[in-house]
A and B are shown apart, each in its own frame.
Chain A
Amino acid sequence: MANTTDTFFGQGDPPRAGAPMNASEIQAWFVREVLPLEATLMQYLKRVRHNRADVDDLCQEVYVRVCEAALLETPRSARAFVFTIARNLVIDEMRREQIVPIDAVADLEALNVAADAPLADRSLIGREDLRRLQTALDELPPRCREAVVMRKIQGIPRREIAARMNIAEKTVARHITEGICALANALYGDTRRRP
C-alpha cells in the first residue's frame, strides 16, 4: 500500500479533501478508508437482503458508487460518505420493491448516528484483523489450506506446490483463488454470520 498514514474522520483532514483523486490514489484510499467499514456495511445491508449473495451484490454496488464519486471529489469523511451512499441505495431498493422491513427503517435513523461516530483505535483493529485471518485460514478446506499455507507462509512457488500436492498447477491456482476470496471476506466482511 502506497499510503500508510491513518487518516480518521474527525482527526485531521485527508490530503487535498475536495479535490479529485487519480486512480492509484483512489485504490489507496479505498483500501485504507473504505474496506475497514465493510463489516458494518454488511450488517446494515443484511437488514434489507437476507440472502448472502444479494448482500454481496449490494456491497459491491456501494463500492462502485463510492469510488466513482471519489473520482470527482475526495470525500472529507469516508465513513459518512459510504453510509450516505449505502442509505440511498437501500432507499432506492425499498422504493422499487415497496418493501419496508421494520428494522431497516429503524436503522436508517441509527446510521445517521453511526456515520458521525469516530472510528475505534486502529491498533485494536489490527489485532482483530490477524485473528480473523487466522480463523479464516483454519476454516479453509484442507487441500485449499495446504496450498495457501505453502504459498503464503512458506513462500513456495506454484509449480513446486503442484508437484508436492501431486495436482495440476491449474488446481493449485483454483485453491489459492478460493483462499484469497475467503480471506478477503474474513478480513473485511461480517464474519459473525458464521455459526
Chain B
Amino acid sequence: MNAQQIRAQAGAWVERRDTGALSESEQAEFDAWLAASMSHRVAYWRADAAWASADRIKILDSEKPESAARKALPGAIKAAAVFVLMAALAAGAALYSRAPADRTYATPLGGNETVSFADGTKIELNTDTLIRARMTTNERTIWLDHGEAYFQVKHNSARPFTVMVAGHRITDLGTKFLVTADAGKLQVALVQGRARIDTADKWMAQHSALLKPGDVVLATTDSMSRTRENTSELATQLSWRRGLLVFHRTPLAQAAYQINRYNREKVRIADAALNDLPISGTLSATDPDQFARVLENIFGLKAQRTRGEIVISH
C-alpha cells in the first residue's frame, strides 16, 4: 500500500473519531489498524495533528492581502532572466558572426564553445579541440585537426560544405553530425539529414559511403566500419553540449576516460577489479571531484586526492 492510500485511511479514522465515540467494534478495528504498522501510526499522528491545528483557522478569518504581491513576483523574475539570456546571446553573436576565412578556433581542456558562421552554420567544439575554417564564396571547408565537433550545417549546393579529417572527407548534404578525431581515428555520427564520407586508405583506394541518421562510421588509416545507433544513444553522446556526461551502465574505466578528456586533474582507477563496475547517472563534465564524491558516497569506494590526480580504489 502506498503513502497516499495509508494517509487516506488515517484521514478517515481522524474523521471518524472526531465525529463522536467509537462503538466497541469500531474501537477494536481502529486499535488493530494502528497496531498493524508504524506506517499507519505516523500517518495517523500526522493527520490528527493537522486536523487539530485547523482549529486555529477559526481565529484567522480572511487574511490574504499578501497573496497578490506574492503572485506578482515570479513574472518580474522571469522577465529579468529573459533579458539576461538575450544579452548573452547577443554577445555571442557579435563575437562570431563575422568569422573571416581561414581562421583557427580552439578550445582548451574542459572547454566547450560554439562558433556561428554568417551562413547560419554552427559548429560546437568539445573539449581540447582545434579546427580551421575556410569560408569563401564557392566553398566551405573545415579541418578538424583534433578533438570533437558537432556540426549543424546550412545546406547550400552552390557552396559545398566539407569537413577534412586526416585525409578523410565528409561532404554535407544538409546535415547535423558529430565528428571525433582521435589519434588517426575518425568517427562520424550522423544525427539528422544526409552526408557522404570519402576515405582514402593507405593503398590510396577510395571508399565512399552515404550516411543516414543514426549511422556511425569509424575510419582509421586502413579501415572503415559502419554501425547504427539509436537516436537516444546519439543524444547521450552529445550531452557534452550541455556540459554534462551521461552514463548508462558505462564501465567505470570508460567513464573515467570520458571525464579525463575534459580535465587537467585526472581520475585514475587503481584497482583493475573496478574497471567494469557499471555506472549510471548524469554528471558535470568539468568536475572530477564531483565524480569522485559520487564514487565515495554512492558506491562506497575510496578516492584519494594527490597532485593532479584522483586515485580510485576499494
Q: Are B3 and A180 in contact (CB under 8 A)?
A: no
Q: How far is the CA of A157 from the CA of B37 in the complex (A)?
A: 31
Pick the contact of A105 from B57, B60, B294 — CB < 8 Å? B294
Residues of A within 8 A of B11 (CB): 177-178, 180-181, 184
Q: Which of A43-97 contact B (CB under 8 A)?
A: 53, 56-57, 59-61, 63-64, 67-68, 91, 94-95, 97
Q: Check B15 against A100 for contact (C-beta < 8 Å).
A: no
Partner among B2, B19, B55, B284 whose Cβ is within 8 Å of the Cβ of A152: B55
Task: Report B13-61 residues with CB < 8 Å from chain A CB.
Answer: 14-16, 18-20, 37-39, 41-43, 45-47, 49-60
Residues of A within 8 A of B4 (CB): 53, 56
Q: Which residues of B contact A (CB under 8 A)?
A: 2-4, 6-8, 11-12, 14-16, 18-20, 37-39, 41-43, 45-47, 49-60, 62-64, 66-67, 244, 249, 278-284, 290, 293-294, 297-299
How many residues of A are counted as interface, with CB atoms below 8 angstroms from the partner's CB atoms? 52
* Chain A residues with CB under 8 A of B52: 1
14 contacts between A and B (CB under 8 A): A1-B52, A35-B49, A53-B2, A56-B3, A60-B42, A97-B280, A101-B281, A131-B66, A133-B53, A134-B63, A135-B64, A183-B51, A184-B49, A184-B51
| Complex alpha-carbon distance, A178 and B43, angstroms | 14
Which residues from B are CB-within-8-Å of A178? 11
Closest 5 CB pairs of A and B: A100-B281, A184-B50, A60-B3, A56-B3, A63-B42
Query: Using a Cβ cutoff of 8 Å, how many contacts connect chains A and B?
Result: 148
Chain A residues, CB < 8 A from B63: 130-131, 134
A116, chain B: closest CB distance, angstroms: 18
Q: Is the CB of B12 within 8 A of A177?
A: yes
A180-B11, A181-B8 known; A102+B283 contact, CB < 8 A: yes
Q: Hey, which chain A residues are within 8 Å of B58, CB to CB?
A: 152-153
Q: Is the interface of A mostly helix, strand, loop or mixed?
A: helix
Q: Which residues of B contact A181 (CB under 8 A)?
A: 7-8, 11, 47
A188–B50 CB distance below 8 A: yes
On whether the beta carbons of A100 and B3 are closer than 8 Å, the reply is no
Which chain A residues lie closer than 8 Å to B18 at the CB level? 151, 176
Could you tell me the distance in whole angstroms from the C-beta of B4 to the nearest C-beta in chain A?
6
Instruction: Please tell me if A7 contacts chain B, counting CB pairs below 8 Å.
Output: no
Residue from A60, A68, A134 in contact with B60 in the complex, judged by beta carbons closer than 8 Å: A134
When distances are taken between beta carbons in the complex, the residues of chain A under 8 Å from B59 are 130
Nearest Cβ on chain A to B293's Cβ, whole angstroms: 6
Evaluate contact between B46 and A105: CB separation under 8 angstroms: no
